[in-house]
Amino acid sequence: MTQSHPFDPQLLSEVAALPPLPGVYRYFDAEGGVLYVGKARNLKKRVTSYFQKNHGGTRIGHMVTKIVRMETTVVRSEAEALLLENNLIKTLNPKYNILFRDDKSYPYLKLTAAQPRPDSGAPSAASYPRIAYYRGAVEKKHHYFGPYPSAWAVKDSILLLQKVFRLRTCEDTVFNNRTRPCLLYQIKRCSAPCVGNVSEQQYALDTANAVRFLEGQTQEILSELEKKMLAHADRLEFEQAAELRNQMAALSKILHQQSMEIGGDKDVDILAVKVQGGKACVNLAMVRGGRHLGDRPYFPTHVENAADVAALDAEPDATADQLLQFKEKSLESLVLEAFIAQHYIDVAVPPTLVVSEPVDKDLMNALSEQTGTRVSAIHQPREQRRIWLEMAQKNAGLQLARLLAEQGSQQARTRALAEALELSLDNLDALRIECFDISHTAGESTQASCVVFKEHKMQNSEYRRYNIEGITPGDDYAAMRQVLTRRYTKLAEAARNGEATLPDLVLVDGGKGQVSMAREVFEELGLDLGLIAGVEKGEGRKVGLEELVFADGRDKVYLGRDSAALMLIAQIRDEAHRFAITGMRAKRAKVRVGSSRLEDIAGIGPKRRASLLQRFGGVRGIASASVEDIAMVEGISTELAEEIYRALH
């Protein structure tokens, strides 16, 4: 092998020993960070090509010089390699792969399974399926439709089903305790099965038609409803005929409003990609059951490295025509292929993908093999599919323009703050701000929050909450002292050893008092007081009049109501407050729920509950006590103590 960089002989010997089999490879740098994850039909040829060529000063050349370690996994097929590669990309976050992050799971429309009516004869919730918005793991006994691109799309579909088929949406506990119909019955959104206003057979028929509607069988439903309506009319059953007529009218109106249905296309995903300004957006629009459900944008990271890495990542044994085709592949195609490979790992794949860029056939074959169904990608579609694609392309452009505008604005805010506080302007992307806030209700369930701003945006994955204990309830200064001590004691030691980096700015939500407490902590830890700033409320606590108070003796700074720097500080401060108060509310609710759990234990009445709380000081104290300790309370037997222990654990 010939190369311009002196690689570790051990690494080169591992490369030479690779088998000529399909598999996945990972490259690591000296710090253990993952540089790149790739797949190959022939591991030996593919990996060897990285170390044989002189890559010059390209991005890929820079990456190759950092490789100090390699890991490989042999698989049985290219489909297995595709699945493993993209699972690893998602979990390892390599620096040179195009990476799509899932911001959240997809929502579904859930239809509960019907169960036989109990012997009592009264209407039971289990006998009448319920439609509901759902997000989470699916259960086989229920029916799930989706995924949907947004919560709004699910709720809109539920509203349609209520209008046409009048299925219930109430919780089972509400259903089982109704004595008269609710408002939804009055506005013709529910048939009121809770009070027996519809037979179980008729409700089952409405449910079956709702399922067929979601599957795109709308014309068949209309035809059947029309036949039944005419049959009722022939038997002079005009009231029943009118009900069916109204149902048909509602369904026809919905179909007219949708105006998206075309013959043959039931489930389709439309994928459009736009690349501009070093950023990319893939817009995914979904058609399910013949209805266009809306779209959802995705913004990948590491796009700038895609072309360089892809050029090197071509199969070494490819033909001349294949190499030419690979070199001519656009950045848009590379981004789209990365999205398809990563997105459909854990999401159901429809049989048809309509795409704005040509997609590699091997990728589609591997995807088909992975899913067990034939999946085709259609580029340059016609008729309705073309209209769908044009809509998706327009939305991709709009979403990317919005992202670029927001990033430009956010970067301007970061620069304005750095200039106002005389922070370093050398690398604004690395500017790190940590902000702290305290939240409680009359001293109850005190929590502190720490939020992080870096790379011109909030870094949710680095947020932290701290339970504050051992202080006088309501003492915000003591709470701030505790959280800062816990946050920076170890970090300060690591920073002195060169193992960690301190933030460039520490914001505390408060004025002189909170800043003084922060100054004491930083002095004890030997940290730079210039890092600390307090956000003090202005006159009348009005927004826009805030002032910055510093721990190092500098005069207060008023940035101005329209200052970009103040906008950024307010954004970070408000996020810290939001994060603290949501944590406090959750903690408070948990304590109160635990208190009610104590009363739910058989044998625990008001007197025994009071005795337990008095002895242990609260539910948390009871939960931390042993069975023997609980049994020592007057009126609590050993058996009851064991029951209490089990209930609280």
Q: Which pair of structure tokens corresponds to residue 606?
A: 């008001």
- Separation between Cα atoms, residue 53 and residue 61, nearest integer Å: 9
Q: Among all chains, which residue has been given the structure tokens 């600390």?
A: 532
Which residues make beta-bridge pairs with 436? 450, 508
Q: Looking at residue 121, what is its pLDDT?
A: 62
Cβ 644 vs Cβ 632: under 8 Å: no
- CA distances 102 to 99, 120, 255, 339, 463, Å, are 10, 47, 32, 11, 18
Confidence of residue 518 (pLDDT cuts 50, 70, 90): very high
C-alpha torsion sign, points 384, 385, 389, 390: negative
3-state SS string over 461-473?
A: HHCEEEECCCCCC
Q: How many CB atoms lie within 10 A of CB 557?
A: 16
Pick from 270-274, 360-364, 532-536 the range whose average pLDDT is largest: 270-274
- Between the two ends of the chain, the Cα-to-Cα distance in Å is 62
Q: What CATH code is assigned to 601-648? A: 1.10.150.20
Q: How many CB atoms lie within 10 A of CB 512?
A: 12
Q: Looking at residue 257, what is its pLDDT?
A: 47
Q: Looking at residue 327, what is its pLDDT?
A: 54
Taking domain 268-304+333-401, whether its CATH number is 3.30.420.340 is answered by yes
Higher pLDDT pick, 607 / 192: 192
- Separation between Cα atoms, residue 235 and residue 647, nearest integer Å: 61
User: What is the CATH architecture of 428-586?
Assistant: 2-Layer Sandwich (3.30)
C-alpha torsion sign, points 290, 291, 293, 296: positive
Confidence of residue 508 (pLDDT cuts 50, 70, 90): very high
Higher pLDDT pick, 224 / 184: 184
Residue 128 DSSP label? S
User: Is the pLDDT assigned to residue 183 strictly greater than 70?
Assistant: yes
Higher pLDDT pick, 230 / 453: 453
Kindly write down the DSSP assignment for every residue of 583-628, as one continuous string: HHHHHHHHHHHHHHHHHHSTT--HHHHHHHHHHHSSHHHHHHS-HH
Domain ranges of the chain: 9-92, 117-258, 268-304+333-401, 428-586, 601-648
Q: How many CB atoms lie within 10 A of CB 606?
A: 8
User: Is the pLDDT assigned to residue 597 strictly greater than 70?
Assistant: no
Cβ contacts of 604 within 8 Å, gap of 6 or more: 598, 612, 640, 644
Backbone angles phi, psi at 246, to 5 degrees: -65, -40
Q: How many CB atoms lie within 10 A of CB 300?
A: 21
Q: How many CB atoms lie within 10 A of CB 284?
A: 21
Cβ 168 vs Cβ 175: under 8 Å: yes
Higher pLDDT pick, 528 / 137: 528
**pTM of whole model > 0.85?**
no
pLDDT for 449-502, tens place per residue? 999 999 899 998 899 989 888 888 888 899 999 999 999 998 988 888 888 889
pLDDT for 611-637, tens place per residue? 787 777 677 778 778 888 888 888 888
Q: Looking at residue 378, what is its pLDDT?
A: 92
Cβ 195 vs Cβ 178: under 8 Å: yes
The chain-wide mean pLDDT, for the chain, equals 82
- CA distances 368 to 79, 351, 359, 395, 478, Å, are 9, 9, 14, 28, 60
Taking domain 9-92, whether its CATH number is 3.40.190.10 is answered by no
Q: Looking at residue 259, what is its pLDDT?
A: 43
Q: Which pair of structure tokens corresponds to residue 131?
A: 């439609």
User: Is the pLDDT assigned to residue 1 strictly greater than 50?
Assistant: no
User: Is the pLDDT assigned to residue 591 strictly greater than 50?
Assistant: no
- Separation between Cα atoms, residue 124 and residue 168, nearest integer Å: 12
Q: How many CB atoms lie within 10 A of CB 386?
A: 13
Name the nearest CA neighbour of 94 among 53, 142, 37, 46. Answer: 37
User: Is the pLDDT assigned to residue 2 strictly greater than 50?
Assistant: no
Q: Looking at residue 104, what is its pLDDT?
A: 56
- CA distances 293 to 4, 221, 601, Å, are 54, 20, 47
Give percent of the chain with pLDDT exceeding 90.
Answer: 19
Higher pLDDT pick, 3 / 328: 328
User: Is the pLDDT assigned to residue 126 strictly greater than 50?
Assistant: yes
Q: Looking at residue 115, what is its pLDDT?
A: 79
pLDDT for 418-428, tens place per residue? 888 878 777 88
Q: How many CB atoms lie within 10 A of CB 324?
A: 10
Q: Do domains 268-304+333-401 and 428-586 have the same CATH topology?
A: yes
**What's the maximum distance between 2 C-alpha atoms anywhere in the chain?**
93
Alpha helices for 75-171 (secondary structure H): 78-92, 151-165
Run of H or E residues at 459: none
Cβ 263 vs Cβ 273: under 8 Å: no
Pick from 212-221, 241-250, 259-268, 491-500 the range whose average pLDDT is largest: 491-500
- Estimate the crossing angle of helix 606-616 against helix 564-600, to 10 degrees: 130
Name the nearest CA neighbour of 275 among 399, 379, 358. Answer: 399
- CA distances 208 to 129, 146, 189, 216, 217, Å, are 10, 17, 17, 13, 11
Name the nearest CA neighbour of 546 among 534, 556, 558, 555. Answer: 558
- Separation between Cα atoms, residue 444 and residue 591, nearest integer Å: 10
Q: Among all chains, which residue has been given the structure tokens 């058996």?
A: 639
